[in-house]
Structure 1
């Protein structure tokens, strides 16, 4: 799967079918990550490419992600639904994720998603007029993804009028490009 010749998304649909097959027998601590992987992959691809029955599968197991889990933080950040939490609850879950991720059993998302979670919350603080917390969260994103030049630029240029769109900051050349077909 790709959006151009230089970027490809690995087709993991066979893995998703395995998840569907084994989720009931899997240890409880692995189920949220399995469901997150299944749901997010099907969220970002075209409807024609989705695994058969993905909506029904996710609906059947959505209770696994209900609550304040690190997987839910990352998943809802990606799909833009973090407003289900108050800003204080969102911050508590954000901080919980970063405290738990380094533990042996902790969920650890890729750097892009960690930065996205921090920037999403930073924008909520900015909208509430709390520039100090917004700047702190931008610094957290930079600290956790130091190789991302656009994050450093955001940290330098940020002011209370700067709208933080994590997609634009983390993927400046790929914003709003549709995903191509499976390869």
Structure 2
């Protein structure tokens, strides 16, 4: 079965939901999770600095606009996230799908686990997104949709800072593609 097909995304959505429902956050973890969107927004300037002259002024403005908007989305569901939720970390066997590579697991806004999928697997394949979210078990709220949109911008600048510095053409291309798409959209 192809790693990116709708059936695989359906199973991944169910697994992701199980992870997100795995247990109550402890008090310290809850505070960290509730602060995770602001922490992501705080990182924007660091990544903008690291990109040097790779971004135009309009692109920099867009990133800053999305970081500011992220701070205003309001409360979203929090819990433990995988942190690197994407097909390379989905192990397929005759028994079904399993998540692997939990080194980035942390307390955070649950929507943060959807960013890489939104910028890679779902960008040109809405059927994958639909399958994932259907088995995930709930429709994203307006706040979660706004947060996801803003987080994709922050992921783009992160990719454009990290990718070239580490010779990772795939990550760099992901960031450029996402940023180009966002630049074509109506500004926040």
| TM-score normalised by the chain length of structure 1 | 0.30
Question: Max radius of gyration: which structure?
Answer: 1
| TM-score normalised by the chain length of structure 2 | 0.29
Higher strand share: 2
